[in-house]
Chains A and B, each alone.
Chain A
Amino acid sequence: MAKVPLSRIAHGRSGDKGNHANVAVIAYTDAGFAWLSKHLTAEVVAAYFAPLGATRVERFEAANVRGLNFVLYDALAGGASRSLRTDTQGKTLALALLQMEIDEPDNKEL
């Protein structure tokens, strides 16, 4: 099956709350949101970001904007001030997730 990046069907933004990161993924269409709801589970996102060392990942829905919001607990290596990473605030995580390779959805309306 052909692979496409998640960015084909969704956009998003990420940021921080202390040592936790939030990554919002927002589908362009209703069909895209249905795809996200089914496939982009907390487990899938946790596995994708596993190298960051999050202790757990929680998924929240904001269907009103076709959005899923993932909270990655303890994912920022200490967060602002403490973290030794360049991206102490998780600013780049949304684009990283949008680069995830997914099986090209069958539904051409996405």
Chain B
Amino acid sequence: MTEQKERELYFWLRLIREFEDRISALDKQGKIMGGVYSGKGQEAVVVGVCHDLRPDDWIFPLHRDLGAFLVKGADPNRLMAQIFGRRDGFSKGKDSFLHGGDFSRCIFGATSMLGSTLPVAVGTAYKFKIKREDRVAIAFFGEGASSRGDVHEAMNFAGIYKLPVVFLCENNFYAYSTPNELQFAVEDVADRAVGYGFKGEVCSGNDLHSVMKAARKAIDRARGGEGPTFLECKTYRYHGHSEHDRATYRSEEELITWESRDPIERWEVYLGKRKYDIAAIREEVGRRVKKIVEDAVAFAEASPVPEGPEAMEDLYATPITEG
């Protein structure tokens, strides 16, 4: 890996962290309506997968994957406006947080029925296959969503047709409050892949190297016509399910253990081992990401609040007006 690439990855990790922290702070100040689902602690997963994608590959992020938007090239200003519910957001204020994707960057907006995007990703991958397009689809989901029928139906179909799709499971051990032992009876949910006729892999979601290596293999497999991969990244969210959730269902010790595996600190240790001046890099990148996020907040705050009647727009591509 080149030094430039290593620094770029560090920049993404830090930008996401800065963005997440700012949103959490704004939420506490009452400046953001609606739910905020922090992905703090899980940054290495989205960076490790998305940095390797091409502009015309599609991603189907879930509610906690704000970072995937950024790495895939979404404009931070518009992303912040989206979170603020403003007219310049991808939804133009019509829905909150990550429910509005950015089609110009091949980013799909999820629904709250987690796992529901997997069949959609599979349909997209089917099109890539029959049109002989060298593109892949990345379907993000949590270990909680893995219990839904949508996930099963999507994986089963993708296996039959060996579709160019990566099923990227962010296993952060809790679906809201429900721990894994109440979600499934296996240690690694990726074990299910064998039942669909494709490879299942497990990696450390807090270790950028581990994610990058596994993601590269899965993406290469998809591009090479070898079919899907169920890639499970074990990770942890520092915050609750959403900002209003104090996550009393888990122990302080557990959180501390995971904080000691922080993906950004780990990458800094690695950069240090490479004999870079980590203190200087940290400061320089810190300045850059702070500026980007500050600008994004300023943009979002200046973006118009939609008018009430705009709620009636964008329902239909070809509206039929009443005679």
Task: Indicate, yes or no, whether A interacts with B.
Answer: no
